[in-house]
Amino acid sequence: MKPGASSRQPARAVGATPQTPIQFEFDAGAGRHRVWGTAFVSHEGLAVNLVGGDIPHIGAVAISIPRPSRADARRRSATTSVFAVPGHKEDELARPFAAALAQALGRTTVVVAGVHIRRAGPADIAKVFENAGRAVETIIARVKAPSRDR
């Protein structure tokens, strides 16, 4: 082994257990409406970094905790809290993104969101939300997939 080299072997993602969390990348859309990021799945949690647009950044953080629905205890809901960087509006993206993932997966979920499109109009914003919805579907499918497919 060369001086300064690590003796640790590279990690291998084989499933979301306490001993072997997984991490993967995702993306949805194209051009300036594209969103992308990473998802880190541990035994009971999910951490997602969702960025995109012309200037990827950190605009808001949401944490969503799954719980039984108050209306129907047989269904899952989530309680979500958000912190937005002053002057940013990514809380409107981070909140539903985190809540949808926590509800679907039954895991405490943290989403860090930062999507900025210069001179964005309503159609641009709608397209980003559409792509974020597609990213949610991708993450849910990947986390629910059998571990041998990861």
- Looking at residue 28, which CATH number applies to its domain? 3.30.230.90
**Averaged over 122-150, what is the pLDDT?**
88
Asked if residue 16 belongs to a domain, the reply is: no
DSSP state letter for 26? E
Say if 66 falls within a structural domain: yes
Domain assignment present for 2: no
Tell me the percentage of the chain whose pLDDT exceeds 90: 75
* Count of domains for the chain: 1
Residue 9 lies in a domain: no
pLDDT value for 73: 86
* Confidence check: pLDDT of 16 > 80: no
pLDDT band (50, 70, 90) for residue 15 = low
Cα gap 27→50, rounded to integer Å:
9
The Cα angle at residue 65 between residues 36 and 52, in degrees rounded to 5: 15
Q: Tell me the residue range of the domain where 107 lies.
A: 22-149
Residue 78 has pLDDT above 80, yes or no: yes
Tell me, yes or no, whether 8 lies in a domain. Answer: no
- Look-up of token digits 């269904």: 75
pLDDT over 70 at 119, yes or no = yes
**Residues belonging to the chain:** 150
